[in-house]
Structure formats: structure tokens, C-alpha cells
Structure 1
């Protein structure tokens, strides 16, 4: 999308890595997104302890979390269609209203002492369905707000905020939940959505292209055709179908299990390891604001393979210091992929179909994750944990590196861009 030079504000060369802020639309979107990321960074902890406050049963917690995930998976394709048909900023605002109502209702139930697990399951499902519309809309809106030359910077800046709150948010949430209760943490998130809605109203976008006489099924089919016609796209998504299942199982289930039962690591040590991973992401986002990824998919998939290092160490010798260093390296590699993947999608998928294609990406990447959690929960009670992790590390790295055999993954470069002053 071309924009006139007078739409930009001059930025000194010393902060050239922030040139994406020249566009007023991106500035307002970045502010709104930063607000919701900061206030929403405590949501997972608040929800978990809210459920346990009502019923101190891990099974009840799994029901609520599963309701969110299933609703997200069920509606994500429809979210992609809607985001390509309607103004994306308006979709995000509307979903924030739904989130305010659902999360506000949950907080009210907790304050009044009338919360029940069935009610929380329903409200979590509503929140999950809303998120299924927000994510494709956000993926599609960024190329409308900045120039091709600044796409990498824009994505890296958003990742910077996301990684920063990942480090500090859970700590603040833990303090707030422990001192005031989970309902107050939920109200903080509600306040974030309330602030973000008027900020998003300042984001000015051209009207969507529209879908004419197209039906919902035809729009879904168009998105699928765009998805399957690009080998690099479906190959990477297929790899992540396996890699994400390994990640949530080996890192999300086995990791805490080892931390609780192995004094070499310990629960506190595991907290340091997770924080180190976030620091790796944070540092890499800063670097990516200044240094372009000339081969976004090649470097991204190599970066993802680095996650096999902490998985291997977790299985062999989970000493805190060395595992934290490995996690930091893996976090940096994860961010190389994350930014590279977003840039590749935004430069190579038509803007009027980007949200639909992104929804297929999300569906394929997330659909097996609940199964991965269950499988690893079963394996650590029936097999040697060290062997499970070593095999998982080898499979993870193998999936990541195997994608490099696909020419379109290996060879993909950046699309031709022009200087921001000329667009």
C-alpha cells in the first residue's frame, strides 16, 4: 500500500530502527496493542488461580483452559474470513467489547462468590472465540499501517513489547493475585481493553475490498487455495504442527515436572530458565529493528532448531545456569523465526486474503497442541524422562531443518522495497 511522503514525521538517524513509527496509523495501533499486551500479560495466571479458587482441582482447570483452546480452533477460520471482509480495526474493537463483557462477568462472579466451573467454562469459551477473530485481523492490519521497507521493524517492535511483558507480567500478576485476588487482575485487563478501544478508533484505514457475491464457503475455499498453492507456507505449518506439540508437551509439561522433582533445577530455577528464554527473545527483537533478515525463512527455521539445545540439556543435565543460557539462545532463535515468518507472510500473501491465509496457518499450527499435552503427560509416567526429551529434541530439530530442503523455504528473500521517503 503506497503512502505519500507528507504522512510521515522525520525521525533522527540515531533512532533509525524505529522508522516504522513514522506512520501515524501504526503509532496508534502500536500504542493500543502495547496497552493490551501489558494488561493482558497477567491473564493466564489470573484465570488459573480464579478457577482454583472456585474448585481446587487440576481437572477443573484443564476443562476451562480446553474450552478456551477449542473455541479458538473452531472459530479461527471464520475469523480469517471476517477480517478480510470487514474493517480490521473495527473487528478488533468489537472483540474487545466482547472480552470486556466476558472477563468482567467472570470478575463479578468471583467478587460475589457465585462463580461456578460450568459458568467459567462458558465464559472462557466466549473469550477464546473472540480471540479467534482478533488474531487474523491483527495479522492482516500491519501491512496496511506501514510500508514494505518497515515491515520487519514493525513486527520486531511489537515482539519487543510482547517479550518484555512476558518477563515482568507474570511476576506482577503473581503479586496482585496473591495480595488482592484473581478478580482484581481480571479488572486490570478489562481496563486495558477499555483504553485500547478509543485508541484504535484513531487508526485510519481504507475500506476493505469487499467480497461481492462471495459466500462464506467460497471465501474459505479462496483462503485454502492461497494457502496450499504456496509450498513454503504449508510445509512450515506442517512442521510446526509437530514442533508445537513437542514444545507444549516437552517444555510445558515435562519441564515443570523435572523442576518439581529434580533438585538440580528446582521450581525457582525453572523460573530463571523461562525468564532467560524471554530475555533471548527481547534482545533479538532489538537487533531485528536495525538488521534486516535477507533470508527470513532460512534463518528462521535454523533459529527454531536451536530449541533442541535446551530440550537436550533438560533431559541430560538440567543445571540451572547452563539450561538458562541454552534457553536464552533458543529464545533468540524463536524471535528470528517469528519476525521472519510474519514478514514473509505479509510480503507474499495478497493483503485482501492475508487474514484468511493466517487463519489456516494458526489452525494448522495449534490444532495438535492439546494432543501433545496429553501425550507427554502419559509418556512421563510410562517411559524414562531423559530418553523422552532426547528423542523429542532430535525430532524437533529434524522437523525444523527438514523444511530447508524445500527450495522455496531455502531461497526466499525479501521482496523488493523502496525507500520510505518515496512511498
Structure 2
């Protein structure tokens, strides 16, 4: 256990059973089904397009069409989530996702695949995603008491990590047996079920934003975001983490590990990492960190070990062991960050602040993916992995330069 992480105490919390039967329960149910659908979408959409077209180029275009509107509209989604009922927004967004996936499923089932149609529906689905994420991140404090936020986030994380293990496999089986169109039809149904669950969430009692122009909401959101120096510092840290991690892990990881241990080994590494994510999300239900952001940053450094393992060894069992440990640390860092935002950012600006956080940190991802290949060709895959692992750890620790962040308590 890294230094500075020993300050944990057992709590006498609201029981998990009570949380799941209270206001949070229906949201948890809807979010779980929503996560299953979202996790299936990535795999089912990719396999369905490849199955229907047989062209990798089509898949790249469809996936890009899904991502671009999400990034372009994310700030607007945050502003809208702060000025209207997040419950209503989640219901509408899930129904819209059901409609876009259902329409694409229908075209595939009818054997009428067309790239332009797939791209158009993917664009719409990506646009809906820009409104879903800020509403999801902002609604939890409306449903649980402040002392239960970490526990609620741990419950959500445990479901998310379980779904990451199960849903992709299920989507693959559906595509292989019933076909890509029917896999997307099942995906569409999950969004409908999620929307139905969200209708059972009690209405919010928070004051809604005024009916001023949307651009003013965006400016106000930026002002709040910029005024919270610890949030800005953490967002910079996350941008650097994404830059040093996403490309090397997703590109160099499978290349190096497959070279050393065979083609099937990378899937095993990913599964072991997912188990680490799940284990810690369950353990997080039982403990609370006295200084969550400080200790979360220290735990987060463990995720850099998996990049170091790729560079220093490349053997599947070594990388898998490091990925398991990294999964533990990553989960603690993610839960403590989410809880800190929900407890310390004004409720009326929470969705906008999280939208700025997402956008500024996600922009580094395509840069990482584009840069890692040329860097590996110039300096070698193992050297780049080691350098990125060290840089990842340093990026995790950057926010600790802030005394305010180090001393923050729940």
C-alpha cells in the first residue's frame, strides 16, 4: 500500500440495502441497464457495421461520427442539465438513444445497410450522449445524503465494472448468433428499460437555472470551473494522464503483449484488469478516505505500473498482475474524484463543471492515439511505454502541489 493511504477508517454508513430501496434505488436500476446498453453499443455497433459492410473504413467513419458530436456538444449538454430537470433529461436522452439504435437495427435486420444512414444515426446517437453524461454526473447528489455519496459512487462503479466484463461478451455472442441488427435491437431495448426506471426517480427539489440565454449559462459555468482551482488542477492532471495512457495502453499494449505471449493474451490482460476494477469498487463500499483527493491521487499512481510492465517485461502474466493492481488504484482515484465534485461544487453548476472537466481532459485522447505510433517507430515501443508509465505517475501527483487539495475532507 503506498504511503499516505493508511488513513482509512471503517464507517457506520447507511446500509447498501437502504440506499437501494430509497430514492437512489430506481436511479441505480436505470443506470445499471443504461450502462449495459452503452457497453454493448461499442461492441455491437462495431461488429454489426463490419458484418454488414465488410469494410474497416466504414467502421472508422461510423465510430468517428459517434464521437465528434459528443465532444462538440458536451458543454451545451452540461448547461442544459443545470437549467432543467436532470431526471427529465435522462428519460428523454435514453428514449432518443433507443430510437437511433432501434432505427439502425431495423435497417440491418432488413438488410438495407447504407453508410450514409449509419453515419447519420451515429451522429444523432453521439449528440444524445453529450446530454446524458452531464445529467448522470449531476443527479446523484440529489438522491443521496452527502455522507453516502462515496458509497453511492462505489455502487455505481461496481455495476460499471461488472458490465465491462459481461456486456462486450454478450454483444459478441448476439452478433455471432442472431446478427448485428438483432444485437443493436437488444441494445435499443435496454435504453427503453432505463428510461422507464428513470421515470420512477422522485422529482428534484433543487432550484433550476434562470431562463437566461444558453451562452450565458456556458460563460457562468466556465467562471465557476475556473474559480475552483483544485478542479482546474485535477482536470490538467487528467488531460496529461489521458495523453500518457490511452494511446500507449490501447496501441502498444496489445502489440507488445501479443508479441511475447500470443494473440489471446491481451484479452486475458484486459479481463484481469477489469477484475481489479470490480474488486476495489466493492471494497470502496466499506471504507472512506479522510483526505479523499490526496489519497485518491496516491492510489491513482498504481495505474502507471501497467505501462511500466509493458516496457520492462511485456510478458502477459507480468502485465496482467500490474493491470490488476492498476485497476485497484484507478478505481479509488475515480470514486474519490466523483465524490469530491459532488460534495464541493455548487449543485446549480455541477453539470457544467463536469462537462468542462470531461471536455478538457478528453481532448488529449485523440492526440495520444495519433502520436503513439510515430513515437514508437522512432524510439521503440518499450521505451515509449516506460517513459509514459513514469510520466503517468508524475501526472497523478501534480495536484498534490495544492495545499487546498491535500487538505480537503469529505
TM range (shorter): over 0.9
> For the structure 1 residues 17 and 387, does the alpha-carbon distance in structure 2 shift closer, same or farther, using more than 3 Å as the test?
farther
1:378 pairs with 2:374: yes
Which residue pairs with 2:339 in the alignment?
Answer: 343
Which residue pairs with 2:67 in the alignment?
Answer: 69
Which residue pairs with 2:7 in the alignment?
Answer: none
Distance 2:211 2:171 in 1: 48
Helix, strand or coil at the partner of 2:72: helix
Structure 1: give runs of 5+ residues left out of the alignment.
1-12, 415-423
Q: Residues 283-298 of structure 1 correspond to what in structure 2 (within 5 A)?
A: 283-298=279-294
1:309 pairs with 2:305: yes
Deviation by residue 1:10-49 (Cα, 9 ceiling, x = unmatched): xxx9996516616622011001111222343221111111
Which residue pairs with 2:6 in the alignment?
Answer: none
Task: Answer with 214-223 or 20-29: which moved more.
Answer: 20-29
Tell me the CA shift for residue 154 of structure 1: 0.3
Q: Residues 41-190 of structure 1 correspond to what in structure 2 (within 5 A)?
A: 41-190=39-188
The TM-score with structure 2 as length reference comes to 0.93
Distance 1:251 1:290 in 2: 30
> For the structure 1 residues 245 and 65, does the alpha-carbon distance in structure 2 shift closer, same or farther, using more than 3 Å as the test?
farther
Deviation by residue 1:289-312 (Cα, 9 ceiling, x = unmatched): 110121111121112211221101
Contact between 2:301 and 2:396, CA under 8 Å: does it hold in 1? yes
Distance 1:213 1:201 in 2: 24
Deviation by residue 1:298-331 (Cα, 9 ceiling, x = unmatched): 1211122112211011112122222111101111
Aligned with 1:300 (options 296, 299, 304)? 296
Which residue pairs with 2:4 in the alignment?
Answer: none
Distance 1:283 1:301 in 2: 19
Which residue pairs with 1:210 in the alignment?
Answer: 208
Contact between 2:257 and 2:316, CA under 8 Å: does it hold in 1? no
Distance 1:86 1:173 in 2: 34
Tell me the CA shift for residue 336 of structure 1: 0.4
Contact between 2:84 and 2:209, CA under 8 Å: does it hold in 1? no
Tell me the CA shift for residue 208 of structure 1: 4.8
Distance 2:395 2:70 in 1: 25
Distance 2:216 2:379 in 1: 47
Which residue pairs with 1:265 in the alignment?
Answer: 261
The TM-score with structure 1 as length reference comes to 0.90
> For the structure 1 residues 45 and 316, does the alpha-carbon distance in structure 2 shift closer, same or farther, using more than 3 Å as the test?
same
> For the structure 1 residues 176 and 163, does the alpha-carbon distance in structure 2 shift closer, same or farther, using more than 3 Å as the test?
same
Which residue pairs with 1:319 in the alignment?
Answer: 315
Deviation by residue 1:57-112 (Cα, 9 ceiling, x = unmatched): 33332222222111111111010111111111110111111111111111111112
Contact between 1:245 and 1:372, CA under 8 Å: does it hold in 2? yes
Distance 1:351 1:92 in 2: 17
Tell me the CA shift for residue 186 of structure 1: 1.0
Distance 2:278 2:49 in 1: 31
Which residue pairs with 1:235 in the alignment?
Answer: 233
1:391 pairs with 2:387: yes
Q: How many residues align?
A: 400
> For the structure 1 residues 15 and 212, does the alpha-carbon distance in structure 2 shift closer, same or farther, using more than 3 Å as the test?
closer
Distance 1:15 1:220 in 2: 37
Contact between 1:20 and 1:146, CA under 8 Å: does it hold in 2? no
Task: Answer with 268-277 or 172-181: which moved more.
Answer: 172-181
Task: Answer with 78-87 or 14-23: which moved more.
Answer: 14-23
Helix, strand or coil at the partner of 2:288: coil
Task: Answer with 99-108 or 294-303: which moved more.
Answer: 294-303
Tell me the CA shift for residue 197 of structure 1: 1.6
